[in-house]
Amino acid sequence: MLDTLISSKTRVKLLLKFFLNANARGYLRSLEAEFGESTNAIRLELNKFEAAGMLQSEMDGNKKVFTANRRHPLFENLHSLMLKHVGLDKIVEGITQRLGDIQKVYLVGDYAEGRDSGIMDLLIVATRVDFEYLVKLVSRAEEEIKRKIRYIHYPSEEQIPDSIEGQAHLLLWEK
């Protein structure tokens, strides 16, 4: 859907990178490696986003590091649009309505870093989960959003391994 509205693939990748997870950071060379696109195309789009005030930057040594400008008037709209683009809004709504005693739902992995890899990883913190319903929900959601969904369940946040803390993660829902 977004590819139809926005013809620049680089622009779509940057929107996903910075507005799916507002904590995402990137600099020109890292984005070049991540996107597999020329630095010139990426630089042009970064400059447009920064001039519009949608991205902000700071120098880290000799690198200009970009982040989303959370104070921009369109930030919440763009964030919501990115969640809808990858189908997270429907997944979270389904999970929280009938799945069990859900405490939190996190997005981890590639999508939490703003990369549309086709595989979505969810971390569900819940004391009680209806796994039969979860399997049905995941199957329906995968068909609808055209992405693979993997999930892991932890009964409490204390049981989440420390290795998750070092990864990018995005809190999608909290009770």
26-63 pLDDT, tens digit per residue, is 999 999 988 888 999 999 999 999 999 999 999 999 99
- Helices 39-51 + 28-35 axis angle, to 10: 120
Report the chain's terminal Cα–Cα distance, integer Å.
31
Assess whether pLDDT exceeds 90 at residue 163: no
Length of the chain (residues): 175
State which amino acid sits at residue 132. E
| Long-range Cβ contacts of 32-37 (<8 Å, 24+ apart) | 34/115, 35/10, 37/9, 37/10, 37/13
CA distance linking residue 122 with residue 143, whole number of Å: 17
Mean pLDDT of 7-32: 87
Helix (H) or strand (E) holding 46: helix 39-51
Q: Rounded to two decimals, what is the model's pTM?
A: 0.62
Residue of 40 and 24 predicted with greater confidence: 40
Q: Is 156 helix (H, G, I), strand (E, B) or coil?
A: coil
All structural domains of the chain: 2-77 (1.10.10.10), 87-174 (3.30.460.10)
Mean pLDDT of 73-87: 85
Listed in sequence order, the residues at least 6 apart from 93 whose beta carbon sits closer than 8 Å to its beta carbon are none
- On whether the CB atoms of residues 102 and 96 are closer than 8 A, the answer is yes
> Which two three-digit tokens encode residue 174?
């909290």
- Tell me: the pLDDT tens digits for 95-135? 666 777 888 888 888 888 878 888 989 888 988 888 888 88
Assess whether pLDDT exceeds 70 at residue 90: no
Helix (H) or strand (E) holding 65: strand 63-68
Assess whether pLDDT exceeds 70 at residue 4: no
CA distance linking residue 79 with residue 70, whole number of Å: 10
User: Given this model, what pLDDT does residue 55 score?
Assistant: 96
Q: Is the dihedral of CA 151, 157, 158, 162 positive or negative?
A: positive
User: Given this model, what pLDDT does residue 129 score?
Assistant: 86
- Tell me: the pLDDT tens digits for 132-146? 888 888 888 888 778
Mean pLDDT of 3-15: 80
Assess whether pLDDT exceeds 80 at residue 5: no
